[in-house]
Amino acid sequence: MIDTHCHLNLEPLSNTPSKFFDQALAAGVTNIIIPAVDLPTSQSAIDLAGTSDRLFAMVGIHPEEAAKTDFSNLFENLKSLALKPKVVAIGECGLDYFHTTQTKAAQHQLFEFQLQLAHELDLPLSIHVRDLPAEASAKEGAHQDALELIRQFTPRAVLHCFSGNQDYLQAALDLGLFISFAGNVTFQNAHKLQQLAKLTPTDRLLVETDAPYLNPDRGVFPNTPAQVVKTYHFLAKLKNISLEQLSQAVEDNVHQLFNV
């Protein structure tokens, strides 16, 4: 079982990453992909990936960092990190209007930079999209804005910690994107998200923790990479396939998308 999106480089996991990594291995997790949220965590993801052949890194800047981002040398700085060993993707990047829409222009510029970089280096992306709750199913907002930008570049990419509606899911699948579900798909009231997981073809499906967030044990913090096992079990049952079938499918998808 692979955790395709785990922030081992964020507190509190980053305080003792080897402990949480060892716990994950003992639970049956075979590999972990570590995303970044800014330049320092891009470097720490690379550093952590260098400690084991089971760890891989992404480099990228989260949309919530847009207002604090210096764009003057951003492309060159990210490119130099992306060329380092064990980097398998650009991310996480995207659009997030949940907390504020005041940085839309900067978020768009930041996302476009990273789409361009992925295109130049032939790397996939891990894309974060989050809307205000009232807009998550609307025909405007972060979801639709992200789709418009993605259509311009047609990247290899995964929509990490998927949210949105059925139309958005179908549009993403039509663009060839992979779809990733985190621990919140297991929540008792997540009926709409569970239906979307059912509708996601197994050959486009990824599974993640987004640790230290979104623990399947709702309300417990931090989430850890070992907890991805619970999400695998839940999704296998939801999709009426064996755990082995799901694990193999995700492994195949990770190889196809991230080339690992």
Identify the pLDDT of residue 100: 72
Query: Beta partners for 130?
Result: 96
Calculate the dihedral angle through the C-alpha atoms of 250, 252, 256, 260, rounding to the nearest 10 degrees. Answer: 90
User: Which residue range forms the structural domain that includes residue 246?
Assistant: 2-258
Q: What is the mean pLDDT of residues 71-96?
A: 96
Asked whether residue 138 carries a pLDDT value surpassing 60, the answer given is: no
pLDDT over 70, % of the chain: 97
Domain count, the chain: 1
Name the average pLDDT for the chain: 95
**Residue with the two structure tokens 């604090």:** 68
CATH of the domain at 107: 3.20.20.140
Q: What integer pLDDT is reported at residue 43 of this predicted model?
A: 98
Asked if pLDDT for residue 134 goes beyond 60, the answer is no
- Residue 128's pLDDT is what? 97
Question: CA-CA distance, 176 to 193, in Å (whole number)?
Answer: 20
Residue 155 predicted with pLDDT over 60: yes
Examine the pLDDT at 140 and tell me if it is beyond 80.
no
